[in-house]
Chains A and B, each alone.
Chain A
Amino acid sequence: MEKTKVINWMQKYSMIVILAVIVIFFTIQTGGRILMPQNITNLISQNAYVFILAVGMLLCILTGGNIDLSIGSVVCFVGAVGALMLNTGMNMLLIVVLMLSIGLLIGMWQGYWVAFVKVPPFIVTLTGMLVFRGLSNVVLQGKAVSISASAPEFVKIFGGGADCYIPDFFNGGGTNIFSIVLGIVIMVLYMIYEEMQLVKKQKLGQEVSTKAILIKVIAISSIIMFFAIQFSQYKGVPTSLIWVAIIVAIYWYITSKTTIGRHFYAVGGNEKATRLSGINTKRVYFIAYANMGLLSALAGMLTIARMTSAQPTYGTNYEMDAISACFIGGASAYGGVGTVPGVIVGALLMGIINLGMSIMGVDSNYQKVVKGLVLLAAVIFDILSKRQKA
């Protein structure tokens, strides 16, 4: 009995176990360098776009394993238009709104064909990939457009440049005290949340293992504090993390607590049954792709800020990063299964592998080979563990 319990637990939290194994592996291989404050900070700011795109991609994949191939090109196009606007000296807030609107419009354009004309998403977004890559080149006239001089504020807010960190309001000198305070606040809020959940479940008479919850709370709290302390030792909380945190929080809530979130899972699980339950399934598809456009626009802002420029090649293969993160994070290629936290773990896993291999000085071509094999292994593992259960 004990043994099957352990196996069940391993399957449920398999990705976290793998993540831990990989972290330990790279810690040993890099002599602990991967856990240094600067590297931890880089892990977040380099991969901010993956987190945001992967969350959007999750919604598309939930509807039935549908992917969006166009997002790399959309990131580039929105970034390009944004960079040009930033150089005209327009109001920054207006530019941000305009960029988000362009992304949303692109998403609605693609969503229309997918949802209402029933063109396969693979084809719609393949055309989007070509169209917006082409248009990026056209608007940039094939050149790089720098924004480092014209829009330093924009760069800072969206996580680029040398001081894209939340300033330390407490003036801690070498240590960023704000980062630690923020960490403690989040940790306490998290603990309160878990406590409330526990009380709720007990009220409903559900069986809960307080020991398991305690372990979970301790683990997550220590991860939060680890990040907070590492940030404080470098330059503080990167602004890109704030954007990631906001998006993750919003979409986690939507997918787990709202009716529209439930509709995504239902459509992916069985579209016919969902339609016969009085749910507008076309609207669900439309929202998934429209939303993907919106999030691509945000990722576009983060990208041009981090690079302090826009170039026609930006965003290449971003769709693959997002798709990989989803599948590694446990989303089903048939739809209907997958969670936001899972996808975050998937994105982190890919990020750590990238970072670890870069520190070890592995050739970038081999890095691709390793990442590809990791994706395959994750999906095989997922399929095999499901088969065992059945």
Chain B
Amino acid sequence: MSELILEMKNITKTFSGVKALDNVNLKVKKGTIHALVGENGAGKSTLMNILSGVYDYNSYTGDIVYEEQICKFTKILDSESKGIVIIHQELALIQELTIGENMFLGNEQGFKFAINWNRTYSEADKYLKTVGLSESSRTKVYDISVGKQQMVEIAKALAKRAKLLILDEPTSSLNEQDSQALLDLLLEFKKQGMTCIIITHKLNEVSYVSDEITIIRDGKTIETLNNELHDCSEDKIISGMVGRELSDRFPKRVNHIISDEYALEVENWNVSHPVYTSRKVVDNVSFNLKKGEVVGFSGLMGAGRTELAMSLFGKSYGTAISGTLKLNGQEKKINTIRQAIKAGLAYVTEDRKGNGLILTNSIKTNTTLANLADVSTCSVINSSKEISVAQEYVSKMHTKCHSTEQLVGNLSGGNQQKVLLSKWIFSDPDILILDEPTRGIDVGAKYEIYTIINQLVAEGKSVIMISSELPEVLGMSDRIYVMNEGKIVSEFTQSEATQEGIMSAILKSKH
């Protein structure tokens, strides 16, 4: 068992003068699951890209020893031919093609000019069974859920005869149930002798699944822990990642006063799917939000939380929307996003790159986009005012950047999230709907986002926080609604709520 399958020795890689990796060492034992943890930008993905041959072996120093051979990969195919397969964080499946076609893309069965489709699909079906999917491999990818797509990715890796499987945040877009299934599958593979490297931000997964844990910080290996020999508690890992003890992951709200007045009341809200109009994605939902309150929305992926939020925000999602919406006790008809913003609503999207930010524009432009009127007179932008607004938010949010002219696309995930928040806070809303506000950002940045949320409610604003991370919902919310399949199935106060309570509310509501 103690035989090493992979050793990466003294890996150093620089990007235009900046050291991304500095003498990193990684030892992975055969037949184990090895977790790689670290803050965003610590260098985990760079290390894995070196291992899988995304970066040419000339572009870094150090050695990769794989199965007792020094490997010099120049392209991904080189590493794949040796059985090293990486599954990236973003799903790389082509929606319009079938599962089978995707699985053997670039690895087609049969001859170059005559693909053997029968063999393709029968092989594909075989691998699908191994990962526990009952779908036919002739199903198109867009017809299956994200959770299943992730499984297809793994099946695809198996089809490449993987011996060392690298998973980059495999569960970041999965709900608790699908994540659990995926982790159990990895444990199953381990029994069969497969080696896995898993990169993840979810620390409960790390302790659940991994045999060894390597912590990387600022491009350096900090330590490797063995799950059996060492203390691998979450706090221990976190302190290794951030280099400081995080005594509390959620900042306390001091002198927090929740008013008795309602900021938002929603009654009998219904939304149908924009394409399949007979499908109700939000089903007769009623809820309320008090001034100065943080209300959490918990639930599995696809429970209808994002759809509910977007339909409230100027009907930006769905058709056949019905129900009443009251702001400060008065009924309002909000039909466009513009009206929603004017009425004091803000929706901070879960998909900051796709729906939130303009990556090719500067921090300044992104900050003022939703409220350009405030920095302009008669449609002419007052550039000095705009710059000072942007600078104000950069310092308020502690956004790390060298100037407000820096392009948002060059920032790290956490800093992008801060720019996105700045944009919506600058639009001066009374109610902020935060959809997965800390998705894919590191622990330190998460803490800062929580602090910002606390500041907002201290100013008397109200926050709806949609989150799939149970500890986050529990740690931040004054009240929690649980949604499942388009309905609100349960409501908890902060003192009543527990992880088990919420999970069982979801699971028991299943029919």
Contact = CB atoms under 8 A, between A and B. Distances in A.
Given A258-B380, A274-B369, A266 B358 contact: yes
Contact of B341 (A4, A200, A278): A278
B358 A273 contact: yes
A278 B358 contact: no
Interface string A345-370: 00000000000000000000000000
A18 to B, nearest CB: 23
Contact of A336 (B349, B361, B379, B387): B361
Given A204-B387, A277-B370, A278-B338, A262 B381 contact: yes
13 contacts: A203-B384, A204-B387, A206-B403, A262-B365, A265-B358, A269-B360, A269-B361, A272-B354, A273-B369, A276-B355, A276-B356, A278-B338, A280-B338
Nearest to A265: B361
Q: Which 10 A-B pairs have the closest CB atoms?
A: A269-B358, A277-B370, A278-B338, A278-B337, A270-B358, A278-B341, A259-B372, A269-B360, A277-B369, A272-B355
B365 A273 contact: no
A270 B391 CA distance: 23
A265 B423 contact: no
Interface in A231-282: 257-260, 262, 265-266, 269-270, 272-280
Contacts of B347: 276
A337 interface: yes
B384 A274 contact: no
Interface in B303-361: 313-314, 316, 336-338, 340-341, 347, 349, 354-361
Given A259-B376, A266-B361, A278-B336, 12 more contacts: A200-B383, A200-B384, A265-B361, A266-B358, A269-B360, A270-B358, A273-B357, A275-B337, A276-B349, A278-B338, A278-B341, A336-B358
A50 to B, nearest CB: 26
Interface in B418-436: 423
Interface of A: 4, 200, 203-204, 206, 257-260, 262, 265-266, 269-270, 272-280, 332, 336-337
Give the interface residue-count category, chain B.
Answer: 35 or more
A316 B178 CA distance: 59
Nearest to A336: B360
A225 to B, nearest CB: 28
Given A258-B380, A259-B379, A270 B370 contact: no
Contacts of B383: 200, 257
Contacts of A276: 313, 316, 337, 347, 349, 355-356
Given A204-B384, A204-B387, A275-B337, A266 B365 contact: yes
A276 B337 CA distance: 7
Contacts of A206: 387, 403
Contacts, number: 83
Contacts of A278: 314, 336-338, 340-341, 370
A39 B381 CA distance: 40
Q: Which of B336, B347, B383, B423 has the most CB of A within 10 A?
A: B383
A177 B17 CA distance: 55
B334 to A, nearest CB: 11
Best-surrounded residue of A260, A265, A332 (most CB of chain B within 10 A): A265
Contacts of A258: 376, 379-381
Nearest to B15: A390
Interface in B359-391: 359-361, 365, 369-370, 372-373, 376, 379-381, 383-384, 387-388, 391
A278 B313 CA distance: 10
Nearest to A261: B381
A295 B425 CA distance: 39
B283 to A, nearest CB: 24
A265 B408 CA distance: 14
A337 B360 contact: yes
Nearest to A260: B379
Nearest to A279: B369
B178 to A, nearest CB: 26
Contacts of B356: 273, 276
Contacts of A279: 369
Nearest to A269: B358
Contact of B381 (A259, A270, A275, A332): A259
Contact of A204 (B355, B372, B388): B388
Contacts of A262: 365, 369, 372, 381
Contacts of B372: 259, 262
Nearest to A280: B338
A16 B316 CA distance: 44
Contacts of A280: 338
Given A200-B384, A204-B388, A258-B381, A274 B338 contact: no
Contacts of A336: 358, 360-361
Contacts of A272: 354-355
Contacts of B357: 270, 273
A279 B341 CA distance: 11
A209 B359 CA distance: 27
Nearest to B386: A262
B431 to A, nearest CB: 15
